[in-house]
Structure 1
Amino acid sequence: MTKLRSAEFLDRKGIEYRIIELEERALSIEDVIRFSKEEINVDDICKTMILKDREGGRYAVLLLGGDRVDYGKAREAIGEKVSIASFAEVKEAVGVDPGAVCPLTLGMDLLVDHKVLDRKRINFGSGDHMYGLEIRTRDLEKVVGFRVVDIAKTES
């Protein structure tokens, strides 16, 4: 296995992590659950979504895997109307396809839904569809700047 850029980043920061190897290319949370070669806690799975505004600004949002973006809350948090970036726009903005986006190495504003921080551990895309990364949640702030927001849709 070639060393993942995101894992090298964590090594440089001195952060412990676990690489989650997948049997097949994962594009969705369901794929991660189905293809993980080892046991993972489904509640720890997070996804990184890329949102865009009308002027071309891009924002990364880290959510729990089962949550969805509430676009009203997103507008409030960001200060303008946003929508989800297309497949091609994600690839152009971060260099990888949706499903592989790693929140640690993006070079854009990162918004983390407050519910993510309630988990002891989180796992997320590594930049490669065949691997995920898991870290202690408290280590997230040691490696990347982010803003805590309430951006997930509340199911009623």
Structure 2
Amino acid sequence: MAGPLQRVLMRSAASAMHRAKASEWHYGPGFDPQKAAAQYEALTMLVLASGAEIEWLTDADDGLADSVFTHDPSLMTDHGAIILAMGKALRRAEPGLHEAAYRRMEVPILGRIEHPGQVEGGDCVWVDSRTLAVGRGVRT
């Protein structure tokens, strides 16, 4: 967030969202999984064009539709990852996907937020390499 992208963790919307029920995931009545997959593919092309390397999460059919929002289940630092605890009940299994990916990629896991604590990466912004801003909201 404070410098150019080098490596990005992503998960295909074509596989993760293809069976998502809009009402269950709170996507709204206009949700279209095929359109989401096409938009995510366009995002993938932008990431690749930036020169960043993409690390892909599993395409297992696990029903974790929101797992395409890979910013939320973990927080990356210059020294490794912190596994977070999701506030949305349907997303509670996602940090495990990140932990498995980091182990495969040999990224150190510095720690984790344990229940009853909860924080999602969407509420965290690196202002610079030494300053992390964390919002307080429904999920953090």
Per the normalisation by structure 1, the TM-score is 0.27
Which one has more relative contact order, counting CA pairs under 8 Å at least 6 apart? 1
**Which has more strand, going by share of residues?**
1
TM-score by length of 2: 0.28
